[in-house]
């Protein structure tokens, strides 16, 4: 058995899901590699695709929302989308890489490689030895998923089964494992230990704000509302990702306020979650799952229109996050939640009841079982 995980860098959530599965295969000493699918496309095409994604989600959310609605309309008619044909352009190159390197198991936590692999295997019908697995990273069936033809689909929750079936994906292919996250979130350090490791004070509330790897959202209003309401002993840590302009604005605005700390891109997210008392984040599927697995009171900021609306609705509906119509209202609700320790404890208990903490492990074990049957 030799595993290839294919993702791509249009948002770090897909990559994080892939790395979580990679982690499990590596623990079991199974040969496994992770690649960016767009590395097989031309440099110009890959760069253009990523830029358009970032622009549409960061600076033109209306465009993204329109594209998302159009995607749902196209897929409901069962026509092949431009996304399918765009990813078909590098499918042959990807096929040769898979064959030349002896991969027989392909795991795809992103739609792009799933489209490419679907085209690839349709063209090369004589390769039943290659098993394919799609990993959903949102609490919805995203547009164009039904164009793909994976052997199995690992989905975020059993409540999504009918939605996927309604899109034309066979029920027997759906495995409701949950979204995979690294064991770092499943087994976090104790709060005091995490604070010591990060050089944090032990007194007061520690509030964490995450904006995604690319620094999504206009969070200045959120921070302003927090500053007006928090105590002198409290602190706010802001993860601005790779959005240098956002970080520069915040540093300029709060250079005299020692309670506000703006962080550069970091790989220590699990430690910051363990050290914090409450998290503000946009409702990305992966980040929300990491927070729920870690167990932290969760306040969802405004979603990027599309999948994140569904993620937020799922979390709010299960009582494992809060959200509000404005940043000011959200801050007020979040600080009120912090003042009610029992409500915080109940939210964390619900998170652990609703969200599977060992999804990455379950995915790995399912794939290994399928490989054993194939022998």
Question: Tell me, what's the pLDDT at 4?
Answer: 98
Question: What does the block give as tokens for 104?
Answer: 């027989």
pLDDT in tens, 90-131: 999 999 999 999 999 999 999 999 999 999 999 987 677 899
Whole-number Å distance between alpha carbons of 204 and 317 = 30
* Percentages of the chain per state (helix, strand, coil), in multiples of 5: 55, 10, 35
Whole-number Å distance between alpha carbons of 247 and 278 = 21
pLDDT in tens, 29-67: 999 999 999 999 877 666 555 554 544 444 434 444 555
Question: Tell me, what's the pLDDT at 264?
Answer: 87
Given a cut of 50, the residues of the chain with pLDDT beneath it are 52, 54-64, 76-77
> Considering only the top CATH level, what class is 190-354?
alpha beta
Residue 348 has a CB neighbour count (10 Å cut-off) of 17
**Sign of the alpha-carbon torsion through 20, 25, 27, 31:** negative
Region(s) of the chain under CATH 3.40.50.2000: 3-178+357-374, 190-354
Burial tier of 166 (Cβ tally within 10 Å: 0-12, 13-18, 19+): exposed
Whole-number Å distance between alpha carbons of 201 and 361 = 35
Does residue 134 contact residue 154 with C-beta atoms inside 8 Å?
Answer: yes
Whole-number Å distance between alpha carbons of 94 and 8 = 14
Q: Does domain 3-178+357-374 have CATH number 3.40.50.2000?
A: yes
Query: What is the biggest distance separating any 2 CA atoms in the chain, rounded to whole angstroms?
Result: 67
Question: What does the block give as tokens for 25?
Answer: 């295969």
């Amino acid at each position: 058995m030799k595993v290839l995980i294919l993702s791509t860098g249009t948002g770090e959530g897909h990559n994080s899901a892939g790395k979580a599965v990679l982690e499990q295969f590596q623990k079991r000493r199974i040969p496994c590699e992770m690649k960016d699918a767009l590395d097989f496309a031309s440099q110009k095409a890959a760069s253009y695709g990523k830029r358009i994604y970032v622009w549409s989600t960061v600076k033109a959310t209306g465009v993204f929302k329109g594209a998302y609605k159009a995607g749902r309309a196209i897929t409901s008619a069962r026509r092949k989308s431009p996304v399918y044909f765009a990813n078909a352009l590098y499918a042959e190159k990807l096929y040769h890489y898979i064959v030349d390197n002896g991969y027989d198991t392909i795991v795809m936590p992103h739609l792009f490689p799933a489209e490419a692999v679907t085209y690839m295997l349709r063209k090369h019908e004589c390769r039943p030895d290659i098993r394919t697995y799609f990993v959903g990273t949102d609490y919805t069936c995203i547009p164009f998923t039904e164009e793909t033809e994976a052997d199995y689909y690992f989905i975020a929750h059993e409540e999504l089964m009918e939605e996927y079936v309604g899109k034309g994906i066979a029920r027997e292919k759906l495995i409701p494992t949950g979204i995979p996250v690294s064991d770092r979130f499943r087994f976090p350090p104790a709060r005091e230990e995490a604070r010591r490791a990060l050089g944090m004070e032990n007194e007061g509330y520690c509030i964490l704000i995450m904006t995604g790897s690319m620094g999504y959202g206009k969070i200045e209003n959120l921070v302003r509302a927090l500053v007006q309401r928090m105590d002198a002993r409290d602190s706010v840590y802001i993860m601005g990702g790779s959005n240098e302009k956002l970080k520069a604005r915040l540093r300029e605005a709060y250079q005299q306020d020692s309670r506000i700390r703006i962080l550069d891109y970091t790989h220590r997210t699990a430690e910051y979650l363990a050290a914090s008392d409450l998290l503000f984040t946009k409702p990305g599927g992966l980040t929300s799952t990491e927070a729920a697995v870690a167990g932290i009171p969760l306040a969802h900021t405004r979603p990027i229109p599309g999948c994140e609306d569904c993620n937020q609705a799922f979390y709010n509906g299960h009582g494992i996050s809060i959200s509000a119509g404005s940043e000011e209202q959200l801050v007020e609700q979040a600080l009120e939640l912090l003042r009610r320790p029992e409500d915080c404890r109940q939210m964390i208990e619900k998170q652990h009841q609703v969200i599977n903490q060992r999804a990455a492990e379950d995915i790995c074990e399912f794939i290994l079982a399928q490989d054993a049957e194939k022998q």
